[in-house]
Amino acid sequence: MKILGIESSCDETAAAVVEDGSSLLGNAVATSMALHAQYGGVIPEIAARSHIESIIPVIKEALGQAKCNWQDIDGIAVTYGAGLSGSLLVGVMSARSLAITHKKPLYAVNHVEGHVYANFLTKTSLPGYTLPAEQPKFPLLALIVSGGHSQLVLFRDHFDYTLLGQTHDDAIGEAFDKVAKVLGLPYPGGPSIGAKALEGDPLAYQFPKAKMQEPYDFSFSGIKTAVLRAVQKECGQDHTFPSFKLAELLSEPQKANFAASFQRVAIETVVDKTIKAFQEFLPASVVIAGGVAASPELRRQLSERLPCPITYTDPKLCTDNGAMIATLGCYQAMHKRPLADPYKLAIEPNLSM
Ligand code: KG4
Ligand code: ZN
């Protein structure tokens, strides 16, 4: 069972070929990140235009790496939500056209659910990937932390899951991106804050953790504002001073202390709740998924505090990619889930789990 996965929900144009839900045969990603970096965040129109230019070369590249031609492909899986409308449209319309032309079954994949499935890949002959030796087992606790989502999900089996909690406002990745902007660090904020934090003191500032009514819900807008207020105070400025000019007033050691202190508390917040969920539901496996799952600090804190062994997938499979979409597509095919209509499949920008 070989599935071609197509992903274009944000600023990565990605395609991959996965066999039997465990083996990565080809994985290609083109990113328009550099085009957005100068604006400090993704510009939807630029992302959509860039997907149009990249999608066909990226699909060809993934098929080439997998040494597959169209006869070898058993189905096409595509992200239909959540994401940016213009971006999603490019992937979905490409997948629909290819499914019709090559007479392949089409599977519609939820992007956030897809992130979790990156953890099911255990084999590849492609160079440069470190994959876990074994697949996660059910019941499976998944911490999904990306630029658009922060949630804890308990999977009893494939396609049988409960959302334990989610963010009420900003996603954790969004908070990293916004704090990076205040500190004058480049987009995306996760990796740039992580790198700067290595030079700083994680205990220099005490930022608050949001107290939520529901035990597994998150909120990251408070800590984002707390960092902004602390930076203003450190610079001797108030809220009337333009926030994009604050970074010029900070020294490099000050930036490092803010980055390290923010990162410690933001990551602690998601780790606290993952440990709590582990104690309540006693899952057989725990996985982390989404762009922030690439964070070495998250991996360090979780491995240190979780009372069971945990393995992590390659960081390249945490940020948006086609492999996670192809993997979930394989499980849809193997479990005979309903097919999408290649003449009708519509995007769902606000799709939830
Ligand atoms: O999953 P993803 O690629 O796209 C969404 O579905 O949102 O996640 C992007 C987010 C960004 O907020 C980025 O700052 C964060 O993931 N990120 C990281 C790292 N790499 C990307 N955060 C922490 N550490 C990283 N190494
Ligand atoms: Zn994502």
Q: What is the pLDDT of residues 215-271, one digit of tens each?
A: 999 999 999 999 999 999 999 999 999 999 999 999 999 999 999 999 999 999 999
How many angstroms separate the Cα of 287 from the Cα of each of 141, 152, 256, 297, 353?
A: 6, 10, 29, 15, 17
The pocket of ion ligand 2, defined by CB under 5 A, consists of 146, 320
Ligand nearest to the CA of 325: 2
140-305 topology per CATH: Nucleotidyltransferase; domain 5 (3.30.420)
The predicted structure's pLDDT at residue 36: 82
The predicted structure's pLDDT at residue 35: 85
* pTM for this prediction: 0.96
Strand pairing class (75-81; 140-145): unpaired
**Whose Cα sits closest to atom 13 in ligand 1?**
190
Q: How many angstroms is it from 319 CA to the middle of ligand 2?
A: 6
Residues in contact with 3: Cβ distance below 8 Å, sequence separation at least 6, in sequence order: 17, 18, 19, 73, 74, 75, 76, 77, 107, 326, 327, 329, 330, 333
Q: How many angstroms is it from 68 CA to the middle of ligand 2?
A: 26
Ligand nearest to the CA of 294: 1
The predicted structure's pLDDT at residue 38: 82
Q: Name the CATH superfamily for 2-132+315-334.
A: ATPase, nucleotide binding domain (3.30.420.40)
CA atoms within 13 A on the CB side of 31: 11
Structure tokens at 286: 């725990």
Domains of the chain: which residue ranges? 2-132+315-334, 140-305
Q: What is the pLDDT of residues 260-269, one digit of tens each?
A: 999 999 999 9
Structure tokens at 12: 């990565």
* DSSP letters spanning 226-262: HHHHHHHHHHT--TTS-GGGGGGGS-HHHHHHHHHHH
Residues in contact with 84: Cβ distance below 8 Å, sequence separation at least 6, in sequence order: 9, 10, 42, 44, 47, 48, 349
**Ligand 1 test: best mutation among 84, 292, 302, 318, most atoms within 8 Å of CB?**
292
Pocket of ligand 1 (CB under 6 A): 10, 146-148, 173, 176-177, 188-191, 194, 290-292, 294-295, 319-320
Residues of the chain with pLDDT under 70: none
Q: How many angstroms is it from 179 CA to the middle of ligand 1?
A: 13
The predicted structure's pLDDT at residue 159: 98
Q: Do domains 2-132+315-334 and 140-305 have the same CATH topology?
A: yes
* DSSP letters spanning 286-334: EEEESGGGG-HHHHHHHHHH-SS------GGGTSS-SHHHHHHHHHHHH
